[in-house]
Every structure is written in structure tokens, then in C-alpha cells.
Structure 1
Amino acid sequence: MARILIVEDEPGIALALEDDLRLEGHDIDVTGDGGIAITKARESAFDLILLDIMIAGKDGFDVLRELRRAKVTTPIVMLTARTQEAEKVLALESGADDYVTKPFSPRELRARVAAILRRTRVSDARTPLLRIGDADVDFERAEIRRGGVSTPLTPLEFKLLQLFAGTKGRILTRDQLIAGAWGPGTFVSDRVVDNHIGSLRRKLEPDAQEPRHLLNVRGLGYRLDV
């Protein structure tokens, strides 16, 4: 399952995309406004963004450029009814990962989405080490190493760190952490989430009482600064 943001202001197309991708098991968020799309993409963790060029607020090219300037690395697929080659080249040069011309078949879009998600996961699997401050997180061994000392991660700590590592400094809400680490629909109290974050901090931070990397964003959730 992947978390996908659809940015499309034609209600019929947006609904069709949402329904089709939900049937594939994906978690979908939808907006038709470019400004709202930027806020969502910067503050939440998505695995993929489907971005129409002709949208309200800011056009798709403005959204694409602003997200890339903000170091949002989420894969982005541009959607457009225009067929000019120059526009496709511009989208790719501006940071898009793919470009789909309307009208497109649901089968084609599903194949492109699956291909990009597959490439992303293969790329992630090739980088098993993550440097956070003076600590190395080894995802292959599920442990944190600092100063020659290795500390094992519990399965839940491992899942939480994977979620943070994949979001590039963006904020994750407690609901997103619960869905990603415990599973969608699982009831977990905020206190339990906070306790696991505290445990991770004790393994990850030089001083868990004054964290520098695993940070609380008041009223929103947590983020990992590397």
C-alpha cells in the first residue's frame, strides 16, 4: 500500500482516479488547489503525487517547482491534456518523474504508478545505512550504532524509523505513525506512540531530554531532522 496525493480540480477525473487507486489498496488524499497541495506535500508523508497541470490556485508547474525548491523528493507524475513535446520536456526538467497525457486508460496509469513505486522501493533498499547526528542506523541489522556500541531496535522502533527516514524531514502525525507502524485501523493511544518515540530518542539522541533530531512539532506530530 502507498499513500498518494491526487491534485486534480476536475471532480469527475479526481473521483475516478481516487476510486481506481483505492481499489489497488492505496491510501488516497485529494485536493484541487495548488496552494493546498503544496502544504499537504510539505507537511505529510506521501509516496507519490499525481499532479494536474491546469489547477486552481497555482498551476501544476508552479507547484512542482515550489516542492522541488523545498527539497520535497516525493515522486511526482504530471497529468495534462496538452500534447506538446516542449511541455513534457519542461515538466521533466522541472523535477517531474513522469508525464501522462489525458485521456489515459486506468490500466496505463496503474502501470505507471506501480513502476514508480517499485523504483522508489528498490532505491530505498540500496541505502541500508542512515546517518543521524553521531549515530548510524543500520536497517539491514535493525540496530543503531554510536561510538562502537550497537543497540538493537524493537520491531516497532524499526518501523517508526523507516517511516521517518522516508519522509525527508516532513512532519508525521500520530495517526500516520499508527497507520504505518501498527497498521491501518489499529487503535493505539497517543501515550503509547509518545512512549515509543521516547524509547527511540534514548537510543538515537545523545541527550533524550534535549532531542536534536527526533523532534516534536507541537499540535502536529513528529519529524526527523538528519
Structure 2
Amino acid sequence: MTAGSKGLVLVVEDERPIADLVRLYLTRDGFGVHVEHDGAAGLAAARRLRPVACVLDIALPGLEGTEICRRLRADGDWTPVVFVTARDDEVDRILGLELGGDDYVTKPFSPRELVARVRALVRRANGPAEAEQVRTLGAVTLDPARRRVTVDGVPLALTSTEFDLLGHLLGRPGRVFSREELLSGVWGYAAHQGTRTVDVHVAQVRAKLGAAAGVIRTVRGVGYTADA
């Protein structure tokens, strides 16, 4: 484990050359890094070390990365998670996001891109300036400073990305955002994988909003808007 000024990132990757490369680039960027090479050890490290972010390979010996994430979320641990997968198909991606992942990269990937995504997730998870106002639309209230969302006063458990997506939409109610605009505004980059990530996260936020899901409306052929 190495120390870093930006906090500790847990990397769980069974391919040691990839793990070493990710460690190198994260360390250069100012993060501390702890590496594990199997799922059980990775889960134990996540619970013990309380990292600022986790980079989880999906295909791990013992527990898969998606199972690590599922168990953390079941514990109420919403540490940002970036999945790494060698299987380039939508099933893995959607499954990972439904289990509470925030982002993913597909092997082979650029270490710089991975670091940029981790950096963006950690920055968002740390919260915005306290000057940002509480936003309310219908039964939904979002408090940016406290990173808290409630529906009729009942708190919701959202991932960092889900929170920021909802906040982005609530920030300008009635304004229709294209998927590309949401990728840029929420994720902070134009994802080469395409806009499916946005659709999956919107579906997850709607599922968690329950009866208030209608606050996010689909504009066919364009994107999404927040509307009471």
C-alpha cells in the first residue's frame, strides 16, 4: 500500500502487470494505492481500509468484482466503483451498473483514462460547494452540500454517479438534455462506449425513486428532462 494526498484507491485485479500499471498511474496522480489479486481479499480490504474509490476487475478468482460491489452496497457502503472488464458485451456492463457501479472501462484501456475517471468520481463524491442550493421538484428533494436525496422525506441510497445525474437534471427543470450532454456534464467526458451508460443510470435512478420516478421524463429521440 502506498500513501497519497488524494486518498486511498483500492485496486482488485488478478492480472499483475495490469495491476502494477494502474498502481503506477494512480500513484503519479497523487493517490494512495492498495492492490489485491482475488475477490475475497479485495472485499476484506474494502471493508477494512475504507478507500475513496475502488477499481474492480469483473473476472476475479473467488468473488467476481460485481459480487464485491453488491456486498458493499448491501452493507450501505457507497464508495465509488469503476469496473474493469475484458468481456465487451452489454450484459456485464448493465449488470455491473445495476449492482451499484459508477463507471466502467473495457480492456485494453488507457491507464490515463482510468485515472481520469477515478479522479472525477472522487471529486464528485467529495461534494460541491456549500453555496449550491437545495433542489426540490415534486416529492423529490436533493441537497448538494449534504449529498442527500429524499422522496417525501424518506432518504434514498444513490451511488455518486446516480446522485450527480439526478442533480444535473434537477438543476435545470424543464430543460431537455441530450445523452451526449449528460455524459459531458455528469461523467465529465465523452465516453467512447456510447450513450448506453446514461440510459442504464437513468433506469436505476427511476427504480430507486419509486412512485416519484416520473420526475425524470424521456424525450424521445433527444434525451431526458426533469419535470414535475
TM-score when scaled to structure 2? 0.54
Q: CA RMSD in A?
A: 1.9
Deviates more, 1:108-117 or 1:5-14: 108-117
- 1:49 maps to a residue whose letter is C
Contact kept in structure 2, 1:4 and 1:50, CA below 8 Å: yes
In structure 2, what is the equivalent of residue 84 of structure 1? 89
Match of 1:127 in 2: 146
Aligned to 1:6: 11
Larger Rg: 1
Q: Using a 3 Å threshold, how does the CA distance of structure 1 residues 57 and 123 change in structure 2: closer, same or farther?
A: farther
In structure 2, relative to structure 1, the CA distance for the partners of 1:37 and 1:128 (3 Å cut) is: closer
- The letter for the 2-side match of 1:21 is L
1:128 is displaced (CA, Å) by: 9.2
1:148-163 residue pairs with structure 2 within 5 A?
Answer: none
Deviation at 1:122, TM superposition (A): 2.0
Match of 2:28 in 1: 23
What SS does the aligned partner of 2:126 have?
A: helix
Q: Structure 1: which 5+ residue stretches go unaligned?
A: 130-226
Report the CA distance shift for 1:8/1:85 in structure 2 as closer, same or farther (over 3 A).
same
Question: How far, CA to CA, are the matches of 1:91 and 1:103 in structure 2?
Answer: 18
Where does the alignment leave 5 or more consecutive residues of structure 2 unmatched?
1-5, 131-144, 149-228
**What's the CA shift string for 1:22-81, capped at 9, x where partnerless?**
011111000011111111111222100000001111111211111111111111100011
Give the Cα–Cα distance (whole angstroms) in 2 for the partners of residues 6 and 94 of structure 1: 18
User: Letter of the aligned partner of 1:86 in structure 2?
Assistant: V
Using the size of structure 1 for normalisation, the TM-score is: 0.54
42, 47, 69: which one pairs with 2:47?
42
Identity score, percent: 40
**Pair 1:10–1:128, CA change in 2 (3 A):** closer
Counterpart mapping for 1:175-190 below 5 A: none
> What does residue range 66-145 of structure 1 map to in structure 2 within 5 Å?
66-122=71-127, 126-127=145-146
Count of aligned positions: 129
- The ranges of structure 1 where at least 4 consecutive aligned residues each deviate by more than 6 angstroms after the TM superposition are none
